[in-house]
Structure 1
Amino acid sequence: MTQRGLAILFLSLFGMLTCFSQVAPDCINAIPICYNTPINAGTNGYGIDDFNGASVSGCFTQASGTIETNSAWYRFRTGESGQLGFNIGHDSNEDWDFALYNTTDCNDLGEPVRCNYFDNSDNSDFIGVGVDPTGADNIQYEDWLEVEPGQDYYLLINNYSNNNSGFSIQFSGSIFVEFPNSALDCDIIDNLLGPPIIACDNENVVLDATTDNALGYEWYIDLGTGYQRIPNENGAQLSVAVSAMYRVLVIRPLGNNLISETQVAYAPSPVTYEVADSTACFDGTAIDLTLKDEEALGDQSTFEFRVTYHSSVEDAIDGIDPLPKSYVPSALTETIHVRTTSLENGNCFDVSESFEINSVALPELDFPTRIYECGEAPVATIGEETPDPNYTYEWSTGETTPMITVDQSGVYTLSVTNAANALQCVTVKSIEVVFSKPPVITDISIEYEDDLANTVRVYVETDGNLAYQLDGEEPQENATFHDLFPGEHTITVIDLNGCGSDSKKIVVLGFPKFFTPNADGINDTWHVAGLDILDNPIISIYDRYGKLLHQLHKNSNGWDGSFNGVLLPESDYWFKLSYTDSLGQTTHAAYINNHFTLKR
């Protein structure tokens, strides 16, 4: 059966001994197909040339003087709107082809609306329109038909093989799901006994030939060897017990007797065997329901019956919304209803059995995936604070308690097992432990390139996940700052794991690296920029031996390179800075112990 529709007509191609249905090799005598007509036929040659010597019709071309070889013609009329397809089953070793014409006149067939002329090199069992019922990707299938009521079709089936094991026809498509009894119009069959009947083998079929003014009735049966009189059956009705062709002779007073024939084919009614309950982990993993098919079918053949699974008994009875064979449970406990259906007749089914899927819950772990611990002595307790006594616990360290204490940074993995009904359902979760210490600034260097160009580097006691901040601005990853303006600044080092921070105040000055006190009006004095923003700043200048030579204040004009009126020699000189901080205390600026050059 296809995934997109219900196939309602199918007779076993090789196991039936009740004789082939009637076959018409000519279009004008095409066999009418009604909604439940069982088609199980063979072909042998062809009659008249329905294409009047034409060499091509759609995908068909002349094979040996004519388009037709071993041909069979059928016709049907649609009774509803919807999607329609059909499957032509045959021996996989034989080569069958088909063409479908949308017409009411065999003398005006036109071009086929569907046509397939591929050889059977893939040894498939079916050709047709729609989808291969086995689920195979079959190039010998054409697209679905979208039909409206009252459309007439003629179907030509050709056998290009030397062998002829026969064929079957089954119809499919959504039209048969919505309108199983009226998808094909039975008015095209004008027959006293009505159209052929396909029934379940547990049904009672009664043929009714009631005719006004009838003098009597004679009933005949053909089991494949010709019609034989049924003894003692002379009423207007006949209860049918076996698959066969049936004929009635209605005897009338004026001798204008009636003869009517029909076919009755019984399809086997399935029995669904007991299906065992299943247990699965409730972790989103699919259950393969095809493994249940064998249990449900027992000794019944998969070539005769199909098993589907449904979430409700109503869906199973209606044959709708089958669960996917790769099914993911949606609740911890579910009842699955089993439907076993005859492939010959979708109306023959059994929904007497169901089974339970009992899922085992996965342990739920709610501890975080990462923690940060701050302190001089690193230690942390991790894991499940509210463990389940029915679960077992195992850490990547080998410990088997719900919680453990660790003293090393790293990733620790916990496996928690819920065991039930010989099934072990495991949840695995890892946690990263990061130990941090509060950052400590050990040093800050300030390197001066010229009057305003400078580089400030921050040194810390230990490395870590740190950020560096200047004067409360956006933190940065780099521990170096460039070209700070002269004046007081605050450097802060922040531990990004939440383990505190450390801050230091620095003073950045702007000063020339050298001066030339030669009275030429250029660089005659050495001075320091930025003092005006400090409170009571004092720059103390020393020679290389540490002797205090001169002091500059906020409003000083600079140093002229002399000591007590005596010009000092060309050399390097050092300086320090003191000022009054925000607490009113005299402070010697840290990280300032720099030098400059006096040139003559």
Structure 2
Amino acid sequence: MKRIIFIFFGVLFNVGVSQNITVNQTFTAQQLIENILVNSGCVSVSNFSATGGNFSAGEMSFGYFNANGSVFPFQEGIVLSTGKLSSVIGPNTNFSDSGIGMSWNGDTDLNTALSLSNTFNATVLEFDFIPNANTISFDYIFASEQYLLNPASNQCNYTDGFAFLLKEATASTYQNLALIPNTTIPVRVNTVRGSGTICPAANEAYFDAFNSGNYPTTYDGQTKILTAQAAVIPGTLYHIKLVIADEGNGRFDSGIFLKAGSFVSEKDLGPNRLLSSGNSLCPNETLILNATQAGATNYKWFKNGNQVGTNSATYDVTSAGTYSVEININTTCVITGSIEIEYAPNITTSTTSFTACDTNSDGFADFDLNAIKTQIFNNLPNNYSVALFDSPSGTTALLANFTNTTLNQQIIYARIVSLENCYSNIPITLNVLSSGGILTTELINICNNSTTTISAPSGFSTYSWNTLPVQNSQTISISNEGNYIVTLTSANGCTNTKTFTVINSELATITSIEVNDFEENLTALITIIGNGNYTYSIDNVNFQNTPFFNLPEPGEYRIYVKEEQCGTISDTFFAISYPKFFTPNGDTFNDIWQIKNLDKKGLENSKIYIFDRFGKLIKEINKTNTSWDGTFDNQKLPSTDYWFVIEVSNGKIIKGHFSLKR
């Protein structure tokens, strides 16, 4: 914990210890401005004033400081404090709270700039100046005891205020230059703070450190070196007011350190053109730097510290580097300006043609555009990206998973995305390669684990089977059932697969032959049992996959059931029907009407009754009397239709009619 140490000084003093800064309060406001802060013939200064604490011993709250060989970043300069000047001196073991109880006035301009109403203990240094160039700037560090190492949660928003207020001398409003770079946020304890305490970090890139006891100043923390700058009009009278004050009460001193000699009037050559900020020059682009300055007697241009031009207010930049200019105004004023120039690189392509495999021979394939984007360019900077579009003027980037919309080949366009917008569209060719088409699963039968060969399609460069060990030939021998999968690679690198499903097979066993006898259309349905790939035939020549047959006529048939690997079995069957007509004319051909083959099917005990068209029983056919010759009582009956009823021995009744023709 810090010890509170009270030290009394005389009115004029020069104090300090080794490795800590020293301070001196004997400088007047004019000396602090002319000899310390400005120290340049390029800025004309006047109308100096300084106000601060009214301590009983005559001590000041502002003055000169010197780093005294310590690690403090500035070698010398001016310090403005909300407490005694002597309380600024390190090490950081004292609690700098010397403004407590004093409660001298705050500052209304500071209140306005920071939207405050409760400032106390204001220290102010102000002066007029006339710049010779179009910008002014100076370097500063803000330090404070309010950068507490172990704050309570209610102390996170305590912050003293300061501002660097600039205006034209005749203007009524000020511009605050003490802002976080590239923002409108004032620099304060709670807007620039590092992590490591319970208080939230803020703009941490601009915070230097929380200090240990050995730090050269008494403050608990400070910012990094910051630069206040503004655009001004050369030859115009300006007024600047540097002010710092306690906010709310007089506790916890803060200080502003201004670097000696850093208040300069510089020539603004424009913003740095950097890759990191996205405004670098495009390849082969030329930038004209213009340093035209009223009253200039000479110009000198430098690139990376080496003189490259003279006696010209402009310089044409054609390559990267840090460019600076020295502008002689008079014997005591040399205005400088600088700018850093970077060029977007000449980006070269690695490949602009890409392939994907067509797995189903439809001319379309899936392309991974994310992978393609990483392969197009050789030297793409880290902060650049690539987008792909379907046309040169496209505005909606293609998604990562892309299927070509033009058959077999499509041109898309690569566009480098950067703030500079330096690059043209690059045509990218997407080629669809054949994988060999759709290869259907093939069913293979082997008879009782016999050995057979299976062959993959030809036309591929390599073959790889899922066997153990892996086989790499087009044809393999197998003797076990299972799924055999071959991976085929084409000469273009595309792969495909084909599956052979191998099944153990055997000769079929015919279990039944069902014939629909006596029907108009005779059919037979064969039922078998067995494991195999079977085909069927009733002539042993023409085989079919189905066991159902349409029979052309009644009679005896032989059914053949074939299994390719195991062989063929056969059996006979009979189809029974009645004749549709008969011609009893004595020519020995079709002279009788009878139903054949009843005995072949065990139906020989069936009875058949024949009637004329009036229902008169003409003939009874049975096992012993098997046919009718067309007579009744030895008389020939006329040609006409006759009806019959068959009482089949299995109990079935069949009725029909036929014609007698003479």
- TM-score by length of structure 1 reads 0.31
The structure having more radius of gyration, on CA atoms, is 2
- TM-score by length of structure 2 reads 0.28
